[in-house]
């Protein structure tokens, strides 16, 4: 059972015993308490959006800044980066958190460090990244391959390039061209 799932189950059980909850009350309680479920040694497909869907990553300068932020946070948290793509208005990551760390810990830190750096570079303040990110637990090898294909073909589908290898800020180059010039990834 994941790090958070065990605590959630105990809390729900305690609430049921203490308050003799009905089924409808239990559903409301779970929705109120719902948080992310963390599974150790699992890969997560993450989607990050800039605040108000701004296209802050149109500039190579800020794509490079996000890559630098990932590298910094990777050294600090020792997570594995399996795949990535930085699009003008969103980012996809495939990461595997280390033991005793959650995907939320990592993403909170990446987003915070990037926001500070972005605001400093723009001499501005305020929100840069949307408060919440979307995540999907990768279930098996087929699911991983589908997510990598999705990531690698995203710039082509968006009409930004004709071929995946032409998009610099994607792990396609790592996997198929053996090019680690942007960032080194942990191939699976």
The answer to whether residues 161 and 155 touch, using CB atoms and an 8 Å cutoff, is yes
Judged by DSSP in three states, 69 sits in: helix
Tell whether 52 is covered by a domain: yes
Region 40-54: mean pLDDT is 87
The residue whose two tokens read 């990244």 is 129
Give the CA dihedral 85, 168, 79, 90, nearest 10 degrees: -30
The domain of 16 spans 3-33
Show the tokens assigned to 97: 């958190």
Residues 56, 84 within the same domain: yes
Separation of CA 155 from chain center: 18
Tell whether the model's pLDDT for residue 29 goes beyond 50.
yes
As given in the structure block, the two tokens for residue 156 are 């082509």
Give 60-109 pLDDT, tens digit per residue: 999 999 999 999 999 999 999 999 999 999 999 999 999 888 898 899 99
Q: Is residue 37 classed exposed, middle or buried when 0-12, 13-18 and 19+ CB atoms within 10 A define those classes?
A: middle
Q: How confident is the model at residue 26 (pLDDT cuts 50, 70, 90)?
A: low
> In terms of domains, do 9 and 79 share one?
no
Q: Name beta bridge partners: 94.
A: 45, 83
Residues 22 and 72 in one domain: no
Mean pLDDT of the chain: 85
Is 53 in the same domain as 20? Answer: no
**Mean pLDDT across 154-167:** 96
Question: Taking phi first (over 0 means left), then psi (-120 to 50 degrees means alpha), and beta for anything else, what does residue 156 get?
Answer: alpha
Count of residues for the chain? 188
Number of structural domains found in the chain: 2
- Would you state the pLDDT for residue 5? 55
Helix (H, G, I), strand (E, B) or coil at 45: strand
Residues 94 and 58 in one domain: yes
Does residue 163 carry a pLDDT above 50?
yes
- Residues in a beta bridge with 83: 94
**Residue 185, domain member (yes or no):** no
Give the separation between CA 39 and CA 28, rounded to whole angstroms: 24
* Long-range interactions of 139-147: CB distance < 8 A, separation 24+: 144/43, 144/82, 144/94, 144/188, 147/45, 147/83, 147/92, 147/94
pLDDT 10s digits, 133-155: 888 899 999 999 999 999 999 99
Distance CA(143)–CA(137), nearest Å, equals 9
Q: Global pTM?
A: 0.78
Element (H, E) at 95: strand 91-96
The residue among 161 and 1 whose pLDDT is bigger is 161
């Amino acid at each position: 059972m994941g790090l958070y799932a065990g605590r959630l189950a105990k809390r729900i059980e305690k609430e049921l015993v203490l308050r003799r909850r009905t089924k409808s009350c239990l559903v409301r309680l779970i929705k109120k308490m719902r948080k992310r479920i963390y599974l150790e040694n699992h890969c997560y497909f993450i989607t990050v959006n800039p605040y108000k869907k701004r296209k802050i990553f149109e500039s190579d300068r800020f794509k490079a800044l996000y890559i630098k932020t990932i590298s910094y946070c990777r050294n600090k948290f020792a997570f594995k980066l399996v795949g990535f793509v930085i699009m003008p208005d969103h980012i996809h990551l495939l990461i595997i958190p280390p033991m005793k760390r959650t995907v939320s810990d990592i993403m909170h830190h990446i987003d915070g460090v990037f926001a500070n750096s972005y605001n400093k570079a723009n001499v501005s303040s305020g929100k840069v990244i949307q408060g919440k990110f979307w995540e999907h637990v990768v279930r098996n090898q087929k699911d991983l391959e589908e997510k990598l294909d999705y990531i690698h073909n995203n710039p082509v589908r968006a009409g930004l390039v004709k071929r995946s290898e032409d998009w610099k800020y994607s792990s396609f180059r790592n996997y198929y061209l053996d090019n680690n010039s942007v960032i080194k990834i942990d191939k699976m």
